[in-house]
Amino acid sequence: MSDLHAKVQQVFDEPGCSTNQAKLTRDRKKGCSKLLAPGAAAGGCAFDGAKIALQPITDVAHLIHGPIACEGNSWDGRGSKSSSSQLYRTSFTTDMTEQDIVFGGEKHLYKAIKEIAEKYNPAAVFVYQTCISAMIGDDLEAVCKAAARKLGMPVIPVNVPGFVGSKNLGNKLAGEVLLDHVIGTQEPEDTTPYDINIIGEYNLSGELWQVRPLLDELGIRILACISGDAKYHEVARSHRARAAMMVCSKAMINVARKMEERYGIPYFEGSFYGISDMSDALRNIARLLVDRGAAIELLARTEAVIAREESRAWQRIAPYRPSLLGKRVLLFTGGVKSWSIVAALQEAGLIIAGTSVKKSTPGDKERIKELMKDDMHMFDDLKPREMYKMLKDAQVDIMLSGGRSQFVALKAKMPWLDINQERHEAYAGYEGVVALVREIAKALSNPIWNQIRKPAPWENTATLNERAIHIA
Ligand code: SF4
């Protein structure tokens, strides 16, 4: 447990995290987790965060050492897609009982790992600690080590029990697990000056696949995506990449920074959402690769692809623009970078009536301020009642948010679109921005809104009077 404590302190002290660095030393020691208000939704524990970050590694068996409810809580919460193995979606748990709690669960855990290895032959087994197994003192690391030796396969301890903190802390500790046990443990068969890593991208609804074809066309190889649609061996070999793009800084900044420190892989923070951000991402990848030995003509080829794709995307967006121009959006998201989505929506001609910045870093907030010209419409927290009022008073035309706040919009009888991690549509790259615009246009023009805003037949006084006369 002292190792875990040290690791948590290390993550809280991450030099690459601007939020941490902006804090006083005293506040930094307290960590990033906030005390929860009684009755407020917790939003996931550290174990949940670790699972979210690692489960997209597709050919691995993810085994939860704990009561079945922990796995039930965290299983397949995000729609990370796989291009091959589906093993990552199989739910494995030791389903600890009172007997394990009294006698210890280590033997039970070892048997479970052995059974998985024999039945499924996975590339590796990731074993997740939970509150109960940690509190009774099960030595996850020792069991994993013994199992790895006996079974001759990687068995990786993910010692991130829920009680250590928030979901976001869990994301970062999962990154530490990869750094300590996976990255750098295998060598790629070949390397090229065009190899990159993408860090903090989870291939939600297949978003990575909206970007990959362009990289393929440019001859740029994704050595590893950490962790969307990743295979175990790709992550293990990712230390040989020439450059990296960090997509979600909140989740995996420690991985990007430490890989730069340990293996000399430079990184930049970018986004695949919106036309200009997508183009910037391609430019930055090309520039970093050229700096690290790729042929300089990559820059010109990248510009040519950008010019072609931008023009194609604008052409496809054009038919939707008249119906979107001037429409006001309330953006309530913590899942994807708020600035990135703000830019994408503005490009489509929409007006941002307000955006949440609760989960944004100081850098993200600055960028939003720049895009929106002021910070008047940035909310740290918007209560459902206020959200409802904005929608009901028609101060906005549509809300883009996660599933949890959809009912506020539906109660106000206003269009709503799912933009968070659980969404079923992919919105990355040039393809994605066209899809986003199309979905917003569809939601706004859906005839259901006019229908449900009309009074119900039994509320219509004329109909009631007519009926009264008829009865009389
Ligand atoms: S807080 Fe603990 S018991 Fe609850 S889901 Fe997370 S790991 Fe399991």
Q: What's the CATH code of the domain at 38?
A: 3.40.50.1980
**Confidence band of 313 (pLDDT split at 50, 70, 90):** very high
Position 319 pLDDT exceeds 80: yes
Position 369 pLDDT exceeds 60: yes
With a 6 Å cutoff on the Cβ, whether 164 touches ligand 1 is no
Distance 162 CA to ligand 1 centre (A): 5
Residue 164 belongs to domain spanning: 2-182
Please indicate, yes or no, whether residues 72 and 133 belong to a single structural domain of this protein.
Answer: yes
Handedness of CA 200, 204, 206, 207 (dihedral sign): negative
Position 359 pLDDT exceeds 60: yes
Last residue of a domain, one of 424, 446, 466: 424
In a domain? residue 27:
yes
Please indicate, yes or no, whether residues 231 and 337 belong to a single structural domain of this protein.
Answer: no
Q: What is the atom index within ligand 1 of the atom nearest the CA of 130?
A: 7
In a domain? residue 436:
no
**Confidence band of 59 (pLDDT split at 50, 70, 90):** very high
**Confidence band of 15 (pLDDT split at 50, 70, 90):** confident
With a 6 Å cutoff on the Cβ, whether 43 touches ligand 1 is no
Please indicate, yes or no, whether residues 79 and 169 belong to a single structural domain of this protein.
Answer: yes
Helical axes 140-151 vs 106-120, angle rounded to 10°: 40
How much of the chain exceeds pLDDT 90, in percent? 61
| Higher per-residue pLDDT: 8 or 90 | 90
Task: Give the mean pLDDT of 29-37.
Answer: 58
**Confidence band of 42 (pLDDT split at 50, 70, 90):** low
Helical axes 275-291 vs 429-445, angle rounded to 10°: 170
Please indicate, yes or no, whether residues 217 and 132 belong to a single structural domain of this protein.
Answer: no
In a domain? residue 278:
yes
Query: Which among 36, 45, 79, 64 is positioned nearest to 168, based on CA atoms?
Result: 45
Please indicate, yes or no, whether residues 311 and 338 belong to a single structural domain of this protein.
Answer: no
Please indicate, yes or no, whether residues 66 and 153 belong to a single structural domain of this protein.
Answer: yes
**Confidence band of 251 (pLDDT split at 50, 70, 90):** confident
Residue of minimum CA distance from atom 3 in ligand 1: 131
Please indicate, yes or no, whether residues 67 and 167 belong to a single structural domain of this protein.
Answer: yes
Q: Which residue has the tokens 């919106």?
A: 274
Tell me, what's the pLDDT at 13?
A: 76
Position 355 pLDDT exceeds 80: yes
With a 6 Å cutoff on the Cβ, whether 274 touches ligand 1 is no
Distance CA 232, CA 55 (A): 11
| Higher per-residue pLDDT: 223 or 372 | 223
Q: Residue 207's domain is classified under what CATH number?
A: 3.40.50.12380
**Confidence band of 230 (pLDDT split at 50, 70, 90):** very high
Task: Give the mean pLDDT of 117-144.
Answer: 97
Position 26 pLDDT exceeds 70: no
Distance 205 CA to ligand 1 centre (A): 26
Distance CA 336, CA 355 (A): 12
Last residue of a domain, one of 182, 210, 226: 182
Lowest mean pLDDT among 31-40, 354-363, 432-441, 452-461: 31-40
Number of structural domains the chain divides into: 3
In a domain? residue 187:
no
CB 419 within 8 A of CB 402: yes
In a domain? residue 42:
yes
* Most trustworthy range by pLDDT among 159-173, 176-190, 324-338: 176-190
Position 241 pLDDT exceeds 60: yes
With a 6 Å cutoff on the Cβ, whether 73 touches ligand 1 is yes
Please indicate, yes or no, whether residues 168 and 24 belong to a single structural domain of this protein.
Answer: yes
In a domain? residue 455:
no
Position 424 pLDDT exceeds 90: no
Q: Which residue has the tokens 């190899």?
A: 195
**pLDDT tens readout for residues 254-292:** 999 999 999 999 999 998 988 999 999 999 999 999 999
Please indicate, yes or no, whether residues 177 and 233 belong to a single structural domain of this protein.
Answer: no
Task: Give the mean pLDDT of 319-347.
Answer: 81
With a 6 Å cutoff on the Cβ, whether 70 touches ligand 1 is yes
Task: Give the mean pLDDT of 321-341.
Answer: 79
DSSP class of 311? H
Task: Provide the 3-class DSSP secondary structure of residue 61.
Answer: strand
Tell me, what's the pLDDT at 461?
A: 66
Residue 184: other Cβ atoms inside 10 A: 18
Tell me, what's the pLDDT at 448?
A: 93
In a domain? residue 108:
yes
Residue of minimum CA distance from atom 5 in ligand 1: 70
In sequence order, the 6+-apart residues with CB closer than 8 A to the CB of 331 are: 338, 341, 342, 345, 352, 354, 355, 356, 399, 400, 401, 419
Position 379 pLDDT exceeds 80: no
Distance 74 CA to ligand 1 centre (A): 9
In a domain? residue 451:
no
| Higher per-residue pLDDT: 214 or 10 | 214
Pocket test for ligand 1, best of 73, 128, 129, 138 (most atoms within 8 A of CB): 73
Name the strands in the sheet holding 267-269, side by side, starting at the edge strand that comes first in the sequence.
Answer: 221-227, 195-201, 243-246, 267-269
Q: What is the atom index within ligand 1 of the atom nearest the CA of 48?
A: 6
Tell me, what's the pLDDT at 11?
A: 83
Its pTM surpasses 0.85: yes
Position 460 pLDDT exceeds 80: no
The average confidence (pLDDT) of the chain is 88
Tell me, what's the pLDDT at 2?
A: 64
Position 439 pLDDT exceeds 90: yes
Please indicate, yes or no, whether residues 83 and 138 belong to a single structural domain of this protein.
Answer: yes
Last residue of a domain, one of 251, 286, 316: 316
Please indicate, yes or no, whether residues 141 and 211 belong to a single structural domain of this protein.
Answer: no
Please indicate, yes or no, whether residues 301 and 334 belong to a single structural domain of this protein.
Answer: no
Tell me, what's the pLDDT at 472?
A: 55
Tell me, what's the pLDDT at 204?
A: 92
How much of the chain exceeds pLDDT 70, in percent? 85
Query: Which among 401, 404, 432, 420 is positioned nearest to 206, based on CA atoms?
Result: 432
